[in-house]
Amino acid sequence: MAEDIKNLNTVITVDDGSRRVPIRNTYGEEIGAFTFRPTDVGIIQRYNDMVKRFDAVIEPLQALEGDVDLEDPRYAEAITEATRRVYDEVNALFASADAAEGFFGRMNPFSPVNGEFYCAGVLNAVGEYISQAFDTETAKFSEKAKTYANRATRRAKK
């Protein structure tokens, strides 16, 4: 009996539709990756909720008045808190403990890029990707559902 338990497969593997998605910079270099489930029907709502909460994410930075002084310890504290918040939001979006690291592991999310925070550009790109991937997957599902419906209709007529 003990031998049977030792030989028992202790892993269950299921296909949850996950994809490993590389993140590339404008030069095509891979700068990170994340896991994404394009058929997760809750991801669009989580993304929209995250966008609504973005002002709360950057609130520590908005609380600083006047010009940014990189030597001011309040600035370092605000960046640290805002970074923690954006990591929490991105990880929650993808239901992953380390998704944010794929996006921000090499560059702080609040670094300026093209006149905006790096994380703002990332979140816009993520929104477009989610929308396209979800549309593609639902179209596949719709086609499959039509096939099943047609088979059921033919069987019912017999």
Residues 87, 32: Cα–Cα separation, whole Å: 14
pTM: 0.78
**Domain range spanning residue 42?**
13-143
Diameter of the chain measured on Cα atoms: 80
Cβ contacts of 37 within 8 Å, gap of 6 or more:
16, 17, 18, 19, 43, 95
pLDDT greater than 70 at residue 156 = no
Residue 3's pLDDT is: 60
pLDDT greater than 80 at residue 151 = no
Do the domain assignments include residue 96?
Answer: yes
**Pairing mode of beta strands 116-117, 112-113:** antiparallel
Residues 36, 25: Cα–Cα separation, whole Å: 19
Do the domain assignments include residue 2?
Answer: no
Per-residue pLDDT tens over the stretch 7-60: 667 888 999 888 899 999 999 999 999 898 888 889 889 999 999 999 999 999
pLDDT greater than 60 at residue 67 = yes
Do the domain assignments include residue 22?
Answer: yes
Q: What is the DSSP letter of 72?
A: -
Per-residue pLDDT tens over the stretch 27-37: 999 999 989 88
Residue 155's pLDDT is: 65
How many domains, the chain? 1
Rounded to an integer, the average pLDDT of 123-151 is 81
Do the domain assignments include residue 5?
Answer: no
Residues 94, 114: Cα–Cα separation, whole Å: 26
pLDDT greater than 60 at residue 70 = yes
